[in-house]
Amino acid sequence: RMEDGRLGGTLSLMRIKPAAGSIETGWLTFSPRLQRTREATEAVYQLMRWSFEAGYRRFEWKCDAANHRSRRAAERFGFSYEGVFRQATVVKGRNRDTAWYACIDSEWPALKEAFETWLEASNFDASGTQRQRLGDLTASILACRDPML
């Protein structure tokens, strides 16, 4: 909830597969007031942290391949591009390609450090503007970048 009591967004855990050690985040929807804020980024970080601390070895993100904002967000958060499943599903009568991203447990320590560095109060000036971009902190951790971005 936002300070005024209104909901600021949602994010969910989906495709939870304990035997495979994989879990997916999905339905990330943040209100315009919450998008690209410390609070939204911390929410994603906390979900990732919980997943890896709970023993999952793979944290997945998938989205409509036509949704470039979601694809950019995945990379910003440190998810490596894994490819596009062509015509993976049908949504509202159209074929939908699905872009896949993931981060894995061996990457988590470096991603955790990147998130914690970015979230530090010292990374923001008095007006709340970031000094260092999260995408710059996570870029070197990515196993593969999305060629469409």
At 45 the pLDDT is 98
In a domain, 108, yes or no: yes
In sequence order, which residues have a C-beta less than 8 Å from that of residue 6 and are 6 or more positions away? Answer: 31
CA distance 80 to 26: 16
At 4 the pLDDT is 74
In a domain, 52, yes or no: yes
In a domain, 45, yes or no: yes
CA distance 7 to 64: 24
At 33 the pLDDT is 85
At 126 the pLDDT is 95
Among positive and negative, which fits the CA dihedral 63, 27, 1, 46? negative
- Report residue 14 as tokens: 């989906």
In a domain, 4, yes or no: no
Looking at the 3D structure of the chain, how many domains does it have?
1
In a domain, 1, yes or no: no
Sequential pLDDT tens for the chain (149 residues): 556 777 788 899 999 999 999 999 988 889 888 888 898 999 999 999 999 999 999 999 999 999 999 999 999 999 999 999 999 999 999 999 999 999 999 999 999 999 999 999 999 999 989 999 999 999 999 999 999 99
At 9 the pLDDT is 87
Residue range(s) defining the domain that contains residue 66: 9-141
In a domain, 2, yes or no: no
At 2 the pLDDT is 59
In a domain, 118, yes or no: yes
